[in-house]
């Protein structure tokens, strides 16, 4: 059994990790740390866990577990590792953006399994990708993999309110979010750097522009990304390219019809739909931002790191209605 601990277990991502790890047949959840809720039952924050376990939030951290998940705020993970003596035998999976661009001095590997599985299997520490970054990269990796990514790529993507975290803000307040849609951080979203770095890992000569317009949606969870770019080959060639690239990827599926969020919410799946319109290839990518975009992908990375089946513990049913 893999002995696991979670640091920062009170947020949305921490809650998803708890749910997934307690169902995982090869994993034992040793502790869930939270400074603000220490001593309280997990169900006092994540009330859907009532009756599932008798764990309470811990004020102490066992740094000698097999795997330590850091579900902390951005900037907090690096500070935690700078000030905490983690056993050299412990693997760390960080869900913040602290190590996505620069893994040193802690030797983090970027954890997008569909692009980096071999390195993840050998890694001590993994930096989990961002949610928007996951959806967008999965739409583009097959093209970058054959050096066909053009000079300009256009993306519009919309996310649910959980993407903003659990802390109350003006833009995730129910009365503001409900029945409302808005653009934020156009062309400057923080996930652009990791997307660009990952694409250049497959297509080193690419120096093109990724034009990204993120949007807030009037719903709780899920990301839909609409991606389009110039592609000179035909639709069938594109489909063959995507099917070949994801042939061994257990969670990426090419759909013959336009997908919707309800097909992926509560799952670790990414559904892609490909269309050709004139000289433009259009790719729709849908994921659950809290599962494939965060906690589910972290468990997928754990599976790879410990030599388990990549899909272990992630056979989840979509909340289709």
**Confidence at 192, pLDDT banded by 50, 70, 90:** very high
Cα–Cα distance, 269 to 26 (Å, whole number): 21
Q: What global pTM score does this model have? A: 0.95
Q: Say yes or no to pLDDT of 203 above 70.
A: yes
What is the reported pLDDT for 168?
67
- Tokens found for residue 105: 């001095």
What is the reported pLDDT for 74?
87
Q: Say yes or no to pLDDT of 165 above 80.
A: no
**Confidence at 166, pLDDT banded by 50, 70, 90:** low
Percent of all residues in the chain with a pLDDT value above 90, rounded to a whole number: 86
> For this structure, is 131 an active site residue?
yes
Residue with tokens 């809290």: 290
> Which candidate, 124, 93, 107, 116, places its Cα nearest to that of 298?
93
pLDDT 10s digits, 80-128? 999 999 999 999 999 999 999 998 899 999 999 999 999 999 999 999 9
Q: Strand (E) positions, the chain?
A: 2-7, 27-33, 67-70, 91-94, 108-110, 125-127, 152-159, 182-183, 209-216, 223-230, 252-255, 270-277, 280-287
The pLDDT of 76-82, averaged and rounded, is 94
Q: Say yes or no to pLDDT of 248 above 90.
A: yes
Q: Say yes or no to pLDDT of 36 above 90.
A: no
Cα–Cα distance, 75 to 100 (Å, whole number): 12
Catalytic residue among 131, 143, 270, 312: 131
The mean of the pLDDT values for the chain is 94
Q: Say yes or no to pLDDT of 24 above 80.
A: yes
Domain architecture of the chain: domains with CATH: 2-129+292-305 (3.40.50.720), 131-289 (3.30.360.10)
**Confidence at 138, pLDDT banded by 50, 70, 90:** very high
pLDDT 10s digits, 268-292? 999 999 999 999 999 999 999 999 9
The pLDDT of 228-247, averaged and rounded, is 97
Cα–Cα distance, 238 to 242 (Å, whole number): 6
Contacting residues for 72 by C-beta, under 8 A, at least 6 apart: 7, 8, 80, 94, 95, 96
**Confidence at 61, pLDDT banded by 50, 70, 90:** confident
- Start-to-end CA distance of the chain, whole Å, equals 35
Cβ pair 231, 150 in contact under 8 A = yes
For helices 113-122 and 192-202, the axis angle rounded to 10 degrees is 80
């Amino acid at each position: 059994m893999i002995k696991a601990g979670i640091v920062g277990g009170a947020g949305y991502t921490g809650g998803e990790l708890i749910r997934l790890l307690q169902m995982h047949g090869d994993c034992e959840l040793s502790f869930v740390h939270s400074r603000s809720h220490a001593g309280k039952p997990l169900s006092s924050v994540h009330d859907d866990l009532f009756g599932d376990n008798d764990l309470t939030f811990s004020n102490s951290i066992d740094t000698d577990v097999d795997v330590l998940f850091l579900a902390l705020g951005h900037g907090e993970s690096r500070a935690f590792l700078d000030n905490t003596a983690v056993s050299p035998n412990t693997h760390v999976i960080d869900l913040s953006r602290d190590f996505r661009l620069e893994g040193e001095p802690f030797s983090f590997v970027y954890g997008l399994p569909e692009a980096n599985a071999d390195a993840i299997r050998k890694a001590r520490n993994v930096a989990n990708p961002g949610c928007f970054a996951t959806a967008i990269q999965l739409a583009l990796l097959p093209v970058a993999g054959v050096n066909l990514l053009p000079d300009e790529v256009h993306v519009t993507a919309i996310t649910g309110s959980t993407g903003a975290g659990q802390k109350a803000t003006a833009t995730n307040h129910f009365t503001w979010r409900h029945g409302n849609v808005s653009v934020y951080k156009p062309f400057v979203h923080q996930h652009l750097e990791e997307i660009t770095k990952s694409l250049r890992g497959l297509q080193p000569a690419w120096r093109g522009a990724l034009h990204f317009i993120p949007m807030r949606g009037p719903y709780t969870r899920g990301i839909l990304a609409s991606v389009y770019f110039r592609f000179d080959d035909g639709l069938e060639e594109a489909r063959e390219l995507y099917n070949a690239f994801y042939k061994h990827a257990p969670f990426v599926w090419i759909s013959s019809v336009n997908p919707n969020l309800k097909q992926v919410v509560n799952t670790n799946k990414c559904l892609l739909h490909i269309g050709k319109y004139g000289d433009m290839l259009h790719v729709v990518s849908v994921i659950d931002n809290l599962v494939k975009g965060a906690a589910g992908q972290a468990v997928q990375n754990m599976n790879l790191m410990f030599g388990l089946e990549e899909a272990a513990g992630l056979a989840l049913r979509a909340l289709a209605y």
